[in-house]
Chains A and B, each alone.
Chain A
């Protein structure tokens, strides 16, 4: 039997960037095939070519053994390829039925097609357990259910080959498990699944084969059973990487940041953090685990002074923080620094040269100039020095901030905050969109900082990161802290339940 997909010598350039270099890939029918690689390795470009979003400059695509020309998503759908994008391609104000039928309406009038969609959705719900309220407005559904709509869209169009791009980035661990069960069920039915991810754990758990991409090239395709996460990581980066940074036991010091019954509302007045209490001690990393959007962002913003809490109390080194004049500048003067979650929106100005981004929030420091005049030479020299220590590539202070990769941008932010000798550091999603190699570096830095006696509050949606770095783990769900664990005394299932709101009391 011929393979489901055969890509031969695919090339694609975007201007100077050679995004796909002579890529070959064979995906066998009825298998789950993983594709891993760092950001910018060319995975998404390759899948976009397969789905007709881009056209390859050269190369051949065979589907089921037959050469095909895929020049638009319509062509891809026609040959049985479906794709679930990382950012869902859904129309939020429309209903589930309308979203599923969009582009496959089955006639000029909607009525006839609608009946067919309803019947087909009912069948898919029966066969695969993909139940959903077909009349619900998509925007009202949870992220997990929205993803289900995407999968249903592809299946409704008769997809035999399903491409999923980073499908678990937005899911809770139980939701991710459910997704993997579904993928197995699809495989049993003879469907072929291509899974793009950077989470090696998922690759090991569900795939039959895995292909590794690095800098636009396909460097290896191996049987999953015959490989290991360290080997895959090495293939991805091109050198040995530590997936888990070693850290020694350390007794926490004095309480640095104390939070009591803190409540925070967002700009619309919706309660996002409800009655939260915890303490961060010196020389301790406290990790906050939770699915994105459960109040962690608002909590960070409130602690950093960007948002005024509505209730509760906050103490820094035992000193009460008055909310009336609570602002980031004051918190920074006290020694509470902040690496914000969204570096491009809050941490940097993408259009600035790096040396200007590297002093944001500290532009009034004496050593940066005299009076209101900034000394560019000094700023550049200062950043050049930091770039060396933080291994920022390229080490070019004058380069526009947006020209650096995610990992290097993050290092610039970290260097800016850490080199100002924080007493407490708030860190949000330190490795989002950051390559494996840089992750290792950032993790080492954070642990070194903790060993130097800094109290760190780490907010991350990556459970691995939380488990590896934290001395204590707090879970958040719906704005509340639902549990506290020591990393050694918990596991992902346990944390997953807490993150889903199943509290210790309820259990």
Chain B
């Protein structure tokens, strides 16, 4: 019985941590290259919508996934154009992406399906079915992104250059490498991962798109990224921890705790957020971001 509960909690923690993990890795790529990305939320949301819509239209979850990734990349490129080519403020651009995504998905969704912004429910091949141990292919795809991210950053030429450009773009420029090219690549990789995260939400975990279904996951992913100090394996741990908190919160609803009694649902739901604040406030020590993150690269005279 107890073991059963443990397995269930582990299982739902994993489910809940997957979108966080994909978004967190997306942020990792972007920020390690020096582009701050608070638009993770927005990219997930457009990806979730595009994935559900395409999946519904073509009857294939895989087409949905590619549509989601495509939509997310488009938004990533908007962010890249604003912050890399135009050297705009990366926070402002990210906020704009989030607002645009929230409004656009709701309006377009309502116009197409007339269901208050929802897509029609997906079924059968329109969703990712469970393949191994009760989890869909997307789960394994996202988990696989962790070692790949680590390996590429640590062991390849591209990774070395990417790490360098996030710390000191001038060093990369004087070494004869394109700062712009590197940053765009990183932003697009971030787009792909956000696409995975969004598609997982609408065609993996649920059966269709709901307005604002990301519900702050993009921001929790950013918190996890800081918690993980911008490293891939710790990101896995951090996201799983946040997933676990979420799972426990769900589990605790309606259960009377010894000595305390029944805890209000809202208090339990606040737990992951509270934990985020506490973790970030002191437990993990100082997390030093890539030095050049958030700073547009301008050649000095």
Q: How far is the CA of A89 from the CA of B292 in the complex (A)?
A: 13
CB-based contact A102/B155 at 8 Å: no
Q: Please indicate the chain A residues that have their CB under 8 angstroms from the CB of B163 in the complex.
A: 91, 93-94
* 18 A-B pairs (CB sep. < 8 Å): A45-B301, A52-B176, A53-B174, A72-B176, A74-B176, A75-B176, A76-B176, A85-B174, A89-B175, A91-B163, A91-B171, A93-B291, A102-B161, A102-B175, A105-B160, A107-B157, A110-B159, A110-B160
Q: Please indicate the chain B residues that have their CB under 8 angstroms from the CB of A51 in the complex.
A: 174
Least distance between A281 CB and chain B CB atoms (Å): 43
The answer to whether the Cβ of A90 comes within 8 Å of any Cβ in the partner chain is yes
The answer to whether the Cβ of A109 comes within 8 Å of any Cβ in the partner chain is yes
Q: How far is the CA of A105 from the CA of B167 in the complex (A)?
A: 18
The answer to whether the Cβ of B253 comes within 8 Å of any Cβ in the partner chain is no
Q: How far is the CA of A250 from the CA of B163 in the complex (A)?
A: 58
Q: Please indicate the chain A residues that have their CB under 8 angstroms from the CB of B174 in the complex.
A: 51, 53, 73, 83, 85, 89
Residues of chain B touching chain A, judged by Cβ–Cβ distance below 8 Å, are 155-161, 163-164, 167-168, 170-177, 291, 299, 301
CB-based contact A92/B291 at 8 Å: yes
Residues of chain A touching chain B, judged by Cβ–Cβ distance below 8 Å, are 14, 45, 51-54, 72-77, 83, 85, 87, 89-94, 98-99, 101-105, 107-111, 113, 153
Least distance between B174 CB and chain A CB atoms (Å): 4
Least distance between B234 CB and chain A CB atoms (Å): 16
Closest residue to B290 on the A side, CB-wise?
A93
CB-based contact B167/A98 at 8 Å: no
CB-based contact A98/B160 at 8 Å: yes
Q: How far is the CA of A54 from the CA of B299 in the complex (A)?
A: 9
CB-based contact A93/B176 at 8 Å: no
Q: Please indicate the chain A residues that have their CB under 8 angstroms from the CB of B176 in the complex.
A: 52, 72-77, 103
Least distance between A231 CB and chain B CB atoms (Å): 30
Q: How far is the CA of A89 from the CA of B179 in the complex (A)?
A: 14
CB-based contact B175/A110 at 8 Å: no
Provide the main secondary structure of the chain A interface.
loop
CB-based contact A73/B173 at 8 Å: yes
Least distance between B141 CB and chain A CB atoms (Å): 23
Q: Please indicate the chain A residues that have their CB under 8 angstroms from the CB of B177 in the complex.
A: 74, 102-103
Q: Please indicate the chain A residues that have their CB under 8 angstroms from the CB of B155 in the complex.
A: 109-111
CB-based contact A110/B157 at 8 Å: yes
Q: How far is the CA of A153 from the CA of B176 in the complex (A)?
A: 13
Candidates A73, A75, A92, A109; contact of B168 at CB < 8 Å: A92
Q: How far is the CA of A138 from the CA of B186 in the complex (A)?
A: 24
Kindly name the residue among B157, B161, B174 whose own CB sees the greatest number of chain A CB atoms within 10 A.
B174
For the complex with contacts A73-B173, A94-B160, 4 further pairs of A-B residues with Cβ separation under 8 Å are A45-B301, A103-B177, A105-B160, A108-B157
CB-based contact A89/B157 at 8 Å: no
Shortest 10 CB-CB contacts between residues of A and residues of B: A74-B176, A103-B175, A89-B171, A105-B157, A73-B176, A91-B164, A89-B174, A91-B167, A91-B168, A73-B174
Least distance between B232 CB and chain A CB atoms (Å): 16
Q: Please indicate the chain B residues that have their CB under 8 angstroms from the CB of A91 in the complex.
A: 163-164, 167-168, 171
CB-based contact A108/B175 at 8 Å: no
Q: How far is the CA of A107 from the CA of B159 in the complex (A)?
A: 12
Q: Please indicate the chain B residues that have their CB under 8 angstroms from the CB of A45 in the complex.
A: 301
Least distance between B31 CB and chain A CB atoms (Å): 14
CB-based contact B301/A14 at 8 Å: yes
Candidates B157, B158, B175; contact of A73 at CB < 8 Å: B175
Closest residue to A51 on the B side, CB-wise?
B174
Least distance between A482 CB and chain B CB atoms (Å): 33
CB-based contact A109/B157 at 8 Å: yes
CB-based contact B160/A89 at 8 Å: no
Q: Please indicate the chain A residues that have their CB under 8 angstroms from the CB of B173 in the complex.
A: 53, 73
Least distance between A88 CB and chain B CB atoms (Å): 8
Kindly name the residue among B158, B159, B164, B177 whose own CB sees the greatest number of chain A CB atoms within 10 A.
B164
CB-based contact A93/B157 at 8 Å: no
Q: A14-B301, A105-B157, A109-B157 are in contact. Are A90 and B172 (CB under 8 A)?
A: no
Q: Please indicate the chain B residues that have their CB under 8 angstroms from the CB of A72 in the complex.
A: 176
Q: Please indicate the chain A residues that have their CB under 8 angstroms from the CB of B164 in the complex.
A: 91, 94, 98, 102
Closest residue to B161 on the A side, CB-wise?
A102
Q: Please indicate the chain B residues that have their CB under 8 angstroms from the CB of A53 in the complex.
A: 173-174, 299
Closest residue to B154 on the A side, CB-wise?
A110
Kindly name the residue among B158, B173, B176, B291 whose own CB sees the greatest number of chain A CB atoms within 10 A.
B176
Q: Please indicate the chain A residues that have their CB under 8 angstroms from the CB of B301 in the complex.
A: 14, 45
CB-based contact A110/B171 at 8 Å: no
Least distance between B65 CB and chain A CB atoms (Å): 28
Q: A73-B175, A103-B175 are in contact. Are A89 and B156 (CB under 8 A)?
A: no
Least distance between B288 CB and chain A CB atoms (Å): 9
Least distance between A48 CB and chain B CB atoms (Å): 8
Q: How far is the CA of A243 from the CA of B25 in the complex (A)?
A: 59
Q: Please indicate the chain B residues that have their CB under 8 angstroms from the CB of A107 in the complex.
A: 157
Q: How far is the CA of A45 from the CA of B301 in the complex (A)?
A: 7
Q: A101-B160, A108-B156 are in contact. Are A94 and B167 (CB under 8 A)?
A: yes
Q: How far is the CA of A89 from the CA of B163 in the complex (A)?
A: 14
Q: How far is the CA of A76 from the CA of B174 in the complex (A)?
A: 10
Closest residue to B165 on the A side, CB-wise?
A91
Q: How far is the CA of A101 from the CA of B175 in the complex (A)?
A: 9
Closest residue to A48 on the B side, CB-wise?
B301
Q: Please indicate the chain B residues that have their CB under 8 angstroms from the CB of A105 in the complex.
A: 157, 160
Q: How far is the CA of A72 from the CA of B168 in the complex (A)?
A: 18
Closest residue to A74 on the B side, CB-wise?
B176
Q: A108-B157, A109-B157, A110-B155 are in contact. Are A102 and B167 (CB under 8 A)?
A: no
Q: How far is the CA of A87 from the CA of B300 in the complex (A)?
A: 11
Least distance between A216 CB and chain B CB atoms (Å): 13
Closest residue to B155 on the A side, CB-wise?
A110
Closest residue to A44 on the B side, CB-wise?
B301
Least distance between A152 CB and chain B CB atoms (Å): 13
Closest residue to B174 on the A side, CB-wise?
A89
Closest residue to B163 on the A side, CB-wise?
A94
Q: How far is the CA of A233 from the CA of B250 in the complex (A)?
A: 78
Q: Please indicate the chain A residues that have their CB under 8 angstroms from the CB of B161 in the complex.
A: 102-103
Q: Please indicate the chain A residues that have their CB under 8 angstroms from the CB of B167 in the complex.
A: 91-94
CB-based contact A102/B156 at 8 Å: no
Q: How far is the CA of A72 from the CA of B299 in the complex (A)?
A: 12
Least distance between A269 CB and chain B CB atoms (Å): 14
CB-based contact B168/A90 at 8 Å: yes
Q: Please indicate the chain A residues that have their CB under 8 angstroms from the CB of B291 in the complex.
A: 92-93
Q: How far is the CA of A72 from the CA of B301 in the complex (A)?
A: 15
Least distance between A111 CB and chain B CB atoms (Å): 7
Q: Please indicate the chain B residues that have their CB under 8 angstroms from the CB of A74 in the complex.
A: 176-177
Q: A91-B164, A94-B163, A108-B157 are in contact. Are A102 and B171 (CB under 8 A)?
A: yes
CB-based contact A110/B168 at 8 Å: no
CB-based contact B299/A109 at 8 Å: no
Q: How far is the CA of A108 from the CA of B177 in the complex (A)?
A: 14
Q: How far is the CA of A441 from the CA of B56 in the complex (A)?
A: 79
Candidates B156, B170, B171, B172; contact of A109 at CB < 8 Å: B156
Least distance between B161 CB and chain A CB atoms (Å): 7
Closest residue to A106 on the B side, CB-wise?
B157
Closest residue to B299 on the A side, CB-wise?
A53
